């Protein structure tokens, strides 16, 4: 028969096991911040910008306004998330983010807003049939905002 003391001991052991398992499941090797954002999520978002820029260029070159609009809207969506993705200062060794982002967050957020506005303009021109057919010009109109941010806030490849 189990005594109260033995039942409490089993319960304490189970609770401790749960807490330890939850801790190892929650804190992984990627840098976790207080509000749940992770460096890997931020990095994936930045890579998606590059991928959508390529999709945009291909769509413009192929004359596919619908695909160009979709790529531009995807870029705008990431731009809207950037302030939240960079809210907490997380700079793992493999990151190219410079500390200046967090030293001048207002400027960084303004650059993210400029990226979103440029992408929205391209999406609207694609939807309206006035996008143009020169991939360099269309992609460049967004790319200039990327470059403005990268020059200040992104370091060189390691």
In this predicted structure, the answer to whether residue 7 has a pLDDT above a threshold of 70 is no
Q: Show me where the domains of the chain are located.
A: 1-30, 38-153
DSSP 124-148: HHHHHT---S-HHHHHHHHHHHHHH
Summarize the chain as % helix, strand, coil (round to 5). Answer: 70, 5, 25
The pLDDT score that the predictor gives to residue 39 is 84
Mean pLDDT of the chain: 83
* 68-117 pLDDT per residue, tens: 999 999 999 999 999 999 998 988 888 899 999 999 999 999 999 999 99
Closest CA to 150 of 81, 101, 84: 101
What is the C-alpha separation between 37 and 90, in angstroms, rounded? 9
The model carries a pTM of: 0.76
Which class does domain 38-153 fall in? mainly alpha
Q: How far apart are CA 105 and CA 83, in angstroms?
A: 8
pLDDT at residue 1 in the model: 54
Q: Is 127 a residue whose pLDDT tops 80?
A: yes
């Amino acid at each position: 028969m189990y005594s109260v003391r033995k039942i409490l001991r089993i319960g304490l052991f189970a609770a401790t096991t749960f807490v330890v398992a939850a801790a190892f499941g929650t804190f992984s090797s990627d840098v976790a911040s207080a509000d749940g954002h992770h460096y890997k999520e931020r990095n994936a978002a930045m890579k998606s910008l590059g991928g959508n820029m390529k999709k945009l260029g291909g769509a413009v070159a192929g004359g596919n306004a619908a695909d160009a609009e979709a790529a531009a809207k995807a870029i705008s969506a990431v731009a809207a998330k950037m302030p939240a993705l960079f809210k907490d200062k997380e700079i793992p060794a493999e990151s190219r983010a410079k500390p200046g982002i967090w030293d001048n967050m207002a400027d960084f957020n303004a650059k993210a807003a400029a990226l979103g506005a440029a992408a929205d303009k391209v999406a609207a021109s694609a939807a309206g049939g006035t996008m143009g057919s020169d991939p360099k010009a269309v992609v460049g109109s967004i790319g200039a905002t990327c470059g403005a941010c990268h020059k200040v806030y992104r370091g060189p490849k390691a």
